[in-house]
Structures are given as structure tokens and as C-alpha cells.
């Protein structure tokens, strides 16, 4: 059976060039970058090249990139690091109700430490209001954290406008952006957009799991989370994951090589998918045009998990609601925030595309959906 993988917001397939590069590093260039001999020097070179590749896409300095183990670690490092470093200046933090758990759980922990957190809401498309953000900022505000693209419905937050607004009120407020779902699909220029810290994850951009990075503006001082041998300028100790770092560097370069073409093709595929899916009665799309790769679909009278498994039987992989955290079922804050009808909360699935997705795959996914939904509805008690 053909595999049609449309769960790219959960994770992506590693590009073959990247897997090859990693194998070379694991089997030939396996030195410790801190070692003084030439094996160490070779390893160090991979790290330097990855920094250059990533810094080039963001137009920032190489030294402003800190490698972490994942998007979650980048978010934790940014939020705890900034909150602790700025404790004496204030105790107020602003975020949104629709952040990934990697941000929301940190906020809850910070709240327990005594920080005050303001959660701003969204409109029916999942987009925050700049007026609400402006009203939330007060004298004690030290940190604002807003995601760029929402992982459940693909809404795009006005981060450049938010950055300008925050800095026009107080340039000492730190602005963190979780760009895990947007890096590689949008051009992001932290210096222009007033972003102080930016979280990215390797496995969402056709790199491996176990690697991420945090951009930190050189003017921003935060406390490190992980202490030890002093690697990465003391900001993130631990022997560097050289293969992962080289991989995320190459993935970054590859994602931005043909960005405009890739993104416009993905928008076309998204439009085509939406047209096909909504031909089925009782199917609605959540959010507005949004990001090129995420499509949130509510299917009246069909349970999301049941649809997921029925499509899986036809080789089509999607996800129920958001589900990029764990298997546990939780009410989605994003779907609540956009005011989705209660009856649809458990009937919402996510299709997510990648640069590798083809028109044929979308056609097959539409056909499988059209065949499956009416059958599943037959078993719904009326
Ligand atoms: N932030 C967002 C918006 C995400 O979608 C995800 C993962 O789905 C994360 C953070 C966590 O990234 P990672 O899986 O690399 O820890």
C-alpha cells in the first residue's frame, strides 16, 4: 500500500542528503569537538558550518545560535532563562492561550515561582489582537512569548507588528517567538522584527529528532538551563550533538533554497485539498488561509480518532486535533479559543503538508476521505 504522509506538523521525513551526512559523521568524523586533535577539529568544523548556514537564513550572527535538543528545550531555555535573568526588573510575562505545551507548561511553572502571567486570546481565526497585547503590557512586564504559526490550525501571528509594538512601549522587554512551525516556511529576520529569541526544531524541517536551536540576540543576557563543561559559550553545556547540528544546518539551508517556489506550491496543494475535503457534507475548515502546510478540518458526526485510523487503513497518515505532544486526549485550547462549536471539538483532524507532498498524494487523500467519511457516519446514532 502506498504511504501518504500528511502529518508533517508532527514530524517530517529526514531528507536523504541529511541522513547521508549524519552517517558520515557517525562513522568517520565522530570526534568530540572539544578534542584538540584533528578529529576534534573536523567535528568543530561541522558546527561552524551549521551556524553559518542557520545564521544566513535569519541574517543574524553565528554566535547568536545556541544548539539545543529540540524545540521544547529551546522554549524552556528562552522562558526560564529570561524570566530568571530579569527577576529584579519585574515579574510580569505575557503569552497567548494557544501556545504549544512547551510554552504553556513553562508559564505554569513560572507562575508557581511567583511570576504573573497574562494569557491573551485570539479571534475566530486563531490570531491574536495587537490591541489586547498593548493593553496587557505594564511597567512590570519583562517578557512576551508569542508563537509564529499555530501548530493546530496554522494561524499566523503578526509577530513583526507585535515586536514593533512591544519595543515602542519598552525596549527592555524581551520578545520570544516559538517558530517551530514557521521556520523553513516563512522568512524570519529577528533583527528587523524586533525578536530577541527564536525557537526552532530540527525534525519539523526534514532534519532528525533530538536537535533544535535557540537564536538569542547578542545583547540579551539569559541564564543557562544546563550547566557543565561550558560548551557553546557556557550557554548550553554538554558535548555537542555534532551529527544533529550538521543536519539542522543543512536542513535550514535546504528549506530556504527554493522557499518561494516551495511555499507557493504548498499553498496550491492546500487549496486543492480544502476544495476536495469540503465537497463532503458537514466538513468545515478552521482558521483562515494561514500557513502553507497546516489544514484543520472538522468533520461533523465523526470522531477524530476513528477517522484517523480509518484513513490509516488506506495508507493516509493525519493527526487528531493537534497531537504533537503526547497520546493523551486533552481539550484543545486553540480550538476553544477560536470558538469552535463544542460538538466539533472531538471531531477535528489536522492534515499537514511538507515540501515533499505531491498533487497525486493529495488526490488520493481526498478520495480516501470521501470514501471513508460517509461510511463512518452510518454508525453514528441519530
Ligand atoms: N512549539 C511548537 C509550536 C510545536 O509545534 C512543537 C512540536 O510540535 C514544539 C514547540 C516542540 O518541538 P519539539 O518536538 O522539537 O520538542
Distance 102 CA to ligand 1 centre (A): 7
Q: Which three cell numbers stand for residue 298?
A: 472538522
For the domain 16-257, what is the CATH code? 3.40.640.10
Pocket test for ligand 1, best of 11, 97, 105, 201 (most atoms within 8 A of CB): 201
| CA-based end-to-end distance of the chain | 34
The residue to mutate among 180, 197, 206, 322, having the most atoms of ligand 1 within 8 angstroms of its beta carbon, is: 180
Is there an atom of ligand 1 within 6 Å of 201 CB? yes
Each residue of 50-84: pLDDT tens digit?
999 999 999 999 999 999 999 999 999 999 999 99
Q: Are 208 and 218 in contact (CB under 8 A)?
A: no
Cell of 243: 551529527
Closest CA to 150 of 304, 357, 291, 266: 291
Closest to 203 measured CA to CA, from 348, 7, 62: 7
pLDDT at 327: 54
Residue of 257, 234, 243, 272 whose CA lies nearest to 357: 272
Q: What are the pLDDT digits (tens) for 9-46?
A: 999 999 999 999 999 999 999 999 999 999 999 999 99
User: In this structure, what DSSP letter does residue 197 have?
Assistant: E
Residue nearest to atom 8 of ligand 1 (CA): 324
Q: Residue 17: its pLDDT value, please? A: 98
Beta strand 92-96 with 283-286: parallel, antiparallel or unpaired?
unpaired
Sign of CA dihedral 214, 262, 153, 16: negative
> How far, in Å, are 147, 199, 226, 230 from residue 233 at the CA level?
27, 18, 12, 6
**Whether residue 79 has its Cβ less than 6 Å from ligand 1:** no
Which amino acid residue places its CA nearest to atom 14 of ligand 1?
Answer: 71
- Alpha helices (H) in the chain, listed in sequence order: 16-27, 38-58, 71-85, 101-112, 130-136, 159-169, 190-193, 242-257, 259-277, 304-312, 333-337, 359-377
Phi, psi of 116 (to 5 degrees): -100, 130
Put residue 204 in one of left, alpha, beta given phi > 0 → left and psi -120 to 50 → alpha. alpha
Domain ranges of the chain: 4-12+258-377, 16-257
Give me ligand 1 centre to Cα 374, in Å: 33
Q: Atom 13 in ligand 1: which residue has the minimum CA distance?
A: 71
Q: 261-299: buried (b, 16+ CB within 10 Å) or exposed (e) per residue?
A: ebbebbbebbeebbebbeebeebbbbbeebbbbbbbbbb
Q: 4-12+258-377 in CATH: which number? A: 3.90.1150.10
Whether the Cβ atoms of residue 366 and residue 271 lie closer than 8 Å to each other: no
pLDDT, residue 239, reads 98
For residue 151, give the ligand 1 atom closest to its CA: 5
For ligand 1, say whether the CB of 71 is within 6 Å of any of its atoms: yes
Burial of 133 (0-12, 13-18, 19+ CB in 10 A): buried
Nearest to 94 by CA among 150, 127, 140: 140
CA distance 210 to 263: 26
What is the model's pTM? 0.97
Dihedrals φ, ψ of 179, to 5°?
-105, 25
Distance CA 297, CA 317 (A): 14
Name the helix (H) or strand (E) containing 67: strand 65-68
101 burial level (CB within 10 Å; 0-12, 13-18, 19+): middle
Question: Would you say the CB of residue 242 lies under 6 angstroms from ligand 1?
Answer: no
Apex 126 CA angle, 342 and 202, nearest 5: 110
Q: What is the predicted pLDDT for the residue at 325?
A: 46
For a mutational test of ligand 1's pocket, the pick from 203, 204, 251, 321, i.e. the residue with the most ligand atoms closer than 8 A to its C-beta, is: 204
CA-closest residue to ligand 1 atom 7: 324
Q: Buried (b) or exposed (e) across 2-36, using 16+ Cβ within 10 A?
A: eebbbbbbbbbebbeebbebbeebeeebebebeee
Enumerate residue ranges in the chain where pLDDT < 70. 322-330, 381-382
Amino acid at each position: 500500500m502506498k504511504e501518504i504522509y500528511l502529518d508533517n506538523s508532527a514530524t517530517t521525513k529526514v531528507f536523504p542528503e541529511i541522513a547521508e551526512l549524519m552517517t558520515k559523521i557517525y562513522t568517520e568524523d565522530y570526534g568530540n569537538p572539544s578534542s584538540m586533535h584533528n578529529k576534534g577539529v573536523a567535528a568543530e568544523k561541522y558546527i561552524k558550518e551549521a551556524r553559518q548556514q542557520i545564521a544566513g537564513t535569519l541574517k543574524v550572527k553565528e554566535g547568536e545560535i545556541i544548539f539545543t535538543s529540540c524545540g521544547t528545550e529551546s522554549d524552556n531555555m528562552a522562558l526560564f532563562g529570561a524570566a530568571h535573568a530579569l527577576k529584579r526588573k519585574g515579574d510580569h510575562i505575557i503569552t497567548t492561550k494557544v501556545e504549544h505545551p512547551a510554552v504553556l507548561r513553562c508559564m505554569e511553572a513560572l507562575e508557581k515561582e511567583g511570576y504573573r502571567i497574562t494569557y491573551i486570546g485570539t479571534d475566530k481565526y486563531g490570531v491574536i489582537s495587537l490591541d489586547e497585547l498593548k493593553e496587557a503590557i505594564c511597567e512590570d512586564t519583562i517578557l512576551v512569548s508569542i508563537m509564529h504559526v499555530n501548530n493546530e490550525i496554522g494561524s499566523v501571528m503578526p509577530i513583526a507588528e507585535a515586536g514593533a509594538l512591544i519595543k515602542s512601549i519598552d525596549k527592555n522587554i524581551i520578545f520570544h517567538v516559538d517558530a517551530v512551525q514557521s521556520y523553513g516556511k516563512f522568512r524570519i529576520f529577528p533583527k528587523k522584527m524586533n525578536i530577541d529569541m527564536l525557537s526552532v526544531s530540527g525534525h519539523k524541517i526534514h532534519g532528525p529528532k533530538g536537535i533544535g536551536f535557540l537564536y538569542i540576540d547578542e545583547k540579551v543576557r539569559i541564564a543557562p538551563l544546563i550547566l557543565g563543561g561550558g560548551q557553546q559559550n557556557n550557554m548550553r553545556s554538554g558535548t555537542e550533538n555534532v551529527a544533529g547540528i550538521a543536519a539542522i544546518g543543512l536542513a535550514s539551508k535546504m528549506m530556504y533554497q527554493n522557499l518561494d517556489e516551495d511555499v507557493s506550491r504548498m499553498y496550491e496543494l492546500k487549496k486543492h485539498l480544502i476544495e476536495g475535503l469540503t465537497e463532503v457534507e458537514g466538513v468545515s475548515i478552521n482558521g483562515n488561509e494561514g500557513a502553507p502546510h497546516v489544514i484543520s478540518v472538522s468533520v461533523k458526526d465523526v470522531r477524530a480518532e476513528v477517522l484517523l485510523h480509518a484513513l490509516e487503513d488506506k495508507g493516509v497518515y493525519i493527526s487528531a486535533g493537534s497531537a504533537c505532544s503526547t497520546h493523551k486526549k486533552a481539550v484543545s485550547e486553540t480550538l476553544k479559543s477560536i470558538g469552535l462549536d463544542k460538538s466539533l471539538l472531538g471531531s477535528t483532524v489536522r492534515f499537514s503538508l511538507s515540501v515533499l507532498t505531491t498533487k497525486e498524494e493529495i488526490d488520493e487523500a481526498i478520495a480516501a476521505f470521501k470514501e471513508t467519511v460517509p461510511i463512518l457516519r452510518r454508525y453514528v446514532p441519530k
